[in-house]
Each structure stands twice: as C-alpha cells, then as structure tokens.
C-alpha cells in the first residue's frame, strides 16, 4: 500500500529540491520547489513543498509566484507553519527579485523608447493596489534628472495639478518630461481622464518651454504609450 504524506527525506533523492538544485541547477526547480528551499522546513503532517504550494495558492494572490509581491507579512503569517521569520524571508526574496529585474531593465533603458521605460518601471508599478502617477524629469539629452511620485489615488484631471509638476521641473532644470502611472486592474488602456490630464500638462508645458514626451500607463506585464498611439 502506497504511503501517504511522505516527508521530503523519504522522497527519491532526484526529487528533493536541494539535491535537484545541486544536480541540475536552480533553473530546473519549479516555483513550489524554489519556495520550499527558502522555507526550509514544514510543519507536523505537512512538508515544506506542501507549505510552499499553499502559499502560491493563497486566496487573493491568484498569480502564483508573481502574486507573492502583493502579499504582506501579516497575510503570510495567517498560514499555519509560516511565522514571522519565514514571512520576512519570503518578502525579502520577493523584493530582491524585483530589484534584480529592475536593475537588468536599467541596462537597456532609453527614454526615447517607451518599451524600455515600461520594462524598467514594470516591477515597481504593476503590483501596486492604487494608482501612482510619477513624473520623470529629463535634461536636453534626455538623461534622467529626477523621478518623483506626485500623486497617489484615482487619477483625475481635477486632482492632478500641473502647477506642482512644473514647479518641480523648473527646480531641477528639466527640459523634457515623461509621465508614468499604473492601472491596478492590469489593463493599461487609457481612460478619458488619462487623456485629458496628458493634454492639459502637454499644453501647459508648451507655454513655458518644457516638453512632455509621453505618458506611459503600466498594467500587468503590459503597457500603453499615449505617444505611440498618437493621442499626444
């Protein structure tokens, strides 16, 4: 009769996450196996692999390993077997992964190409649960002078002040600028408010000699450039 609930130690060596990693490399491990290595140990009656699988299927994530970035320490600690230390370890690994992805994208960042901008800011923006509007201030050679979030919440033309944006732009001697913001829904299609804000800021910039090059909206692994679409 086949034994149920076998432990990791009772598994064939080629199926154990540590041994599999040593033999084939980390790239051969599944998401569950990678997370199990980080967790290290399970709880009574539940292997680290089972515990890892429960984390990836946690209600509210719905995105497997990508969803870990959305889950807070307190949510992780609600899972039996995940204490404060393990929850912090998981959060730190997720943050390290995000930073590695951003650093890799920075190497190919070109401000005249919307796709590279979207790649660079994707990991910062796509996990946010509310809208953030950021301005990128550029010099005459389109090199970044400063990036700053200027608004959080539902982006609305009546709430976003061009005055605040241009005070910041003048302070840092910006010649050009790009707006970047996210849609928590994951769909980067521009709303009427997005278009209205973009045109309003572009027109204001033309009056004082600061050109708005683009407004890039970030969704879940997708983006929309208003400049590419000919909207601005």
What's phi and psi for 153, nearest 5 deg?
Answer: 125, -170
Identify whether residues 159 and 60 lie together within a single domain.
no
- Residue 7 domain flag: no
Identify whether residues 114 and 92 lie together within a single domain.
no
Q: In the prediction, which pLDDT does 222 show?
A: 92
Give the containing element (helix H, strand E) for 114.
helix 114-125
Identify whether residues 96 and 203 lie together within a single domain.
no
Identify whether residues 116 and 204 lie together within a single domain.
yes
Parallel, antiparallel, or unpaired: how do β-strands 176-182 and 144-152 relate? unpaired
Q: In the prediction, which pLDDT does 212 show?
A: 95
E strand map for 139-184: 144-152, 176-182
Identify whether residues 75 and 114 lie together within a single domain.
no
| Total tally of structural domains belonging to the chain | 2
Domain boundary among 88, 103, 118: 103
- Residue 4 domain flag: no
Rg (C-alpha) for the chain, rounded Å, is 22
Q: In the prediction, which pLDDT does 11 show?
A: 60
Q: In the prediction, which pLDDT does 170 show?
A: 95
- Residue 123 domain flag: yes
**pLDDT block averages, 10 residues each, the chain of length 232:** 48 68 84 83 74 73 62 82 86 82 71 88 83 93 89 71 90 95 92 91 93 94 93 86
Q: Which residues of 101-123 are buried (b: 16+ CB within 10 A; e: fewer)?
A: ebeebeeeeebeebebbbbbbbb
Identify whether residues 144 and 89 lie together within a single domain.
no
Q: Which residues pair with 129 in a beta bridge?
A: none
Q: By residue range, what is the domain housing residue 162?
A: 108-225
Identify whether residues 214 and 116 lie together within a single domain.
yes
- Residue 3 domain flag: no
């Amino acid at each position: 009769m086949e034994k149920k609930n076998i432990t990791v130690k009772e598994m064939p060596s080629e199926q154990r996450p540590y041994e599999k990693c040593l033999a084939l490399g980390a790239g051969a491990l599944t998401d569950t196996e990678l997370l199990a290595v980080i967790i290290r140990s399970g709880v009574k009656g539940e292997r680290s692999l089972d515990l890892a699988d429960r984390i990836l299927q946690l209600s509210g994530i719905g995105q497997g390993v990508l969803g870990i970035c959305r889950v807070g320490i307190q949510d992780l600690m609600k899972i039996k077997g995940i204490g404060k230390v393990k929850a912090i370890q998981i959060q730190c690994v997720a943050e390290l992964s995000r930073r590695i992805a951003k650093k890799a994208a920075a190497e190919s960042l070109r401000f005249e190409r919307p796709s590279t901008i979207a790649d660079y800011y994707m990991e910062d923006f796509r996990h946010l649960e509310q809208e953030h509007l950021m301005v990128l201030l550029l010099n005459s050679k389109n090199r970044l002078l400063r990036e700053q979030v200027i608004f959080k919440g539902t982006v609305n033309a009546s709430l976003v002040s061009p005055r605040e944006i241009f005070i910041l732009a003048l302070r840092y001697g910006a010649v050009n600028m790009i707006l970047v913001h996210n849609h928590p829904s994951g769909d980067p299609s521009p709303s009427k408010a997005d278009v209205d804000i973009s045109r309003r800021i572009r027109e204001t910039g033309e009056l004082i000699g600061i050109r708005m090059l683009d407004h890039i909206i970030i969704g879940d692994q997708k983006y929309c450039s208003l400049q590419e679409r000919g909207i601005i």
